[in-house]
Structure 1
Amino acid sequence: MDIFRLIQDIKTHLKLSFDEVDRWFEKDKETLNFQPSNGGWTVQQILEHIYLTNFYLLILIEKGSKKAMRNYLELDLNSEIKNYSFDNKKFEKVGKHGAFEWIRPEHMEPKGELRLNEIRNLIARQYHQCLDYLDLMKNGEGLLCKTTMTVNGLGKINVYEYIYFLSLHAQRHLTQMKKNESETIKN
């Protein structure tokens, strides 16, 4: 496994996802506040949900990165890299809205307590946090810690995969926001 290629691919994925999320903050108020006919969230609520989910995932990513860096002193990183293969197939449904049942915890539901510009700034900071963790674990150390991810039965995933999951989660909701926008246009 070329670990440097994996890290670069995750950085690229993050940039594309976060750039696309950021463009939604430029939408007009009608698009941002449109209530879809299925009773789902408005675009602004989805943006807040992305921030909240990132917030909680980043807590796990931070803990995982610290543990991975500690494990670097005890485990054979070269062996881990040699024996690792990234299973993209395992993750592909995560980025697709409606691909599977996803029951989110209540603390990840939007409450409407943040202004749009606050959400935008917080999400931008979260993007940079992800990049900082990838820079910290630039030699493959992120493979040295695995944490269980219950969503869609992913099981134990490493820190890089958690960061990739975070990026895929944003993509999942980009599709949802596009559906909202297309319904706004029809009305």
Structure 2
Amino acid sequence: MLREATFPKKLNTMKEDFMSRIKTELTSTFDELYGWFDVPGDKLYYSPQDGGWSIAKTLEHIALTNHYLLILIRKGTIKALEKSRNQSYRDLLSDYELDWDKLELIGQPGAFKWHRPEHMEPRGTASLEIVRTDIQSQIKECLDLLDQMKQGEGILYKTMMTVNGLGKIDVYHYICFLVQHAKRHIVQMQELENSLS
């Protein structure tokens, strides 16, 4: 297994940069999301006449989507760490970049057509306290998995992501996808709240 000391200073700085950005995006996005659990009940449960989701259902959907994304992120982390024991990835890491432009589109409602699977549809029956606890646990797990891949191992395992034609993306990109998905719905909740003012 490659040790931190085997990487030159430039590589260490690059890793710290993208790892730091992922962690910052993850924590700041979900810190903002937690505030949505505290909106007044009349706004929290209001369902738009166009058939859109209430804020409560949107929060439930985010937790459901996180759950399924984390299955892939968890598996990807295990596989990436296994590969790192037998494969040198220093050359791959030397010019590695996260595709922020492509990922940021995921966070923009209406940027492309999105067909979500039925199992990620919220039912509207979940306790919001449980949903909040689930999301907090999910974000803690994401941070823990990032810490396990702090030497850049996450670049070694890719899985297909069909949303917006992303194709095969590595574990770090999957975590960024999870963040951008939440951002997308924060914008939608803001739009719904503004329509009620």
d(CA) in 1 for partners of 2:95, 2:102: 17
Q: Aligned residue for 1:65? A: 77
- Residue 120 of structure 1 corresponds to 132
**Which of the numbers 139, 151, 155 marks the counterpart of 1:139?**
151
Counterparts of 2:191 and 2:31, CA distance in 1: 18
2:19 aligns with 7
Large movers: runs of 4+ above 6 Å = none
Aligned residue in 2 for 1:179: 191
Q: CA deviation at 1:50?
A: 0.2
> Does structure 1 residue 26 correspond to structure 2 residue 38?
yes
Letter in 2 for 1:21: L
Identity %: 47
Deviation at 1:38, TM superposition (A): 2.2
Q: What code does the residue aligned with 1:107 have?
A: H
* Cα distance in 1 between the residues matched to 2:160 and 2:61: 21
Greater relative CO, 1 or 2 (CA 8 Å, sep 6+):
1
Aligned-partner SS, 1:73:
helix
Q: Which moved more, 1:15-24 or 1:34-43?
A: 34-43
1:51 aligned to 2:63?
yes
Write the letter of the residue equivalent to 1:87: D
Query: What one-letter code is carried by the residue in structure 1 that aligns with 2:32?
Result: E
Task: Specify the alignment match of 1:87 in structure 2.
Answer: 99
Whether the aligned pair in 2 keeps the contact of 1:17 and 1:167 (CA below 8 Å) is: yes
Residue matched to 2:88: 76
Distance 1:23 1:110 in 2: 19
CA–CA separation in structure 2 for the residues paired with 1:152 and 1:176: 18
Conserved? CA contact 1:3–1:140, under 8 Å: yes
Unpaired stretches in structure 1, ≥5 consecutive residues:
none
Q: Distance in 2 between matches of 1:107 and 1:87?
A: 28
Q: 1:153 aligns with which of 156, 162, 165?
A: 165
- RMSD after superposition: 1.0
Q: TM-score, normalised to structure 1's length?
A: 0.96
Residue 80 of structure 1 deviates from its aligned partner by: 1.6
Deviation at residue 35 of structure 1 after TM alignment: 1.3
Deviates more, 1:145-154 or 1:84-93: 84-93
Specify the SS of the correspondent of 1:51: helix
**Aligned residue number for residue 111 of structure 1:** 123
Structure 2 distance, partners of 1:184, 1:5, is 40
Shift of 1:131: 0.2
**Which structure has the larger Rg over C-alpha atoms?**
2
Q: CA deviation at 1:92?
A: 1.8
> Secondary structure of the equivalent of 2:196?
helix
Gaps of 5+ in 2: 1-10
- What is the Cα deviation at residue 114 of structure 1? 1.3
Q: How many residues align?
A: 185
**TM-score normalized by the length of structure 2:** 0.91
| Superposition deviation, residue 83 in structure 1 | 3.3
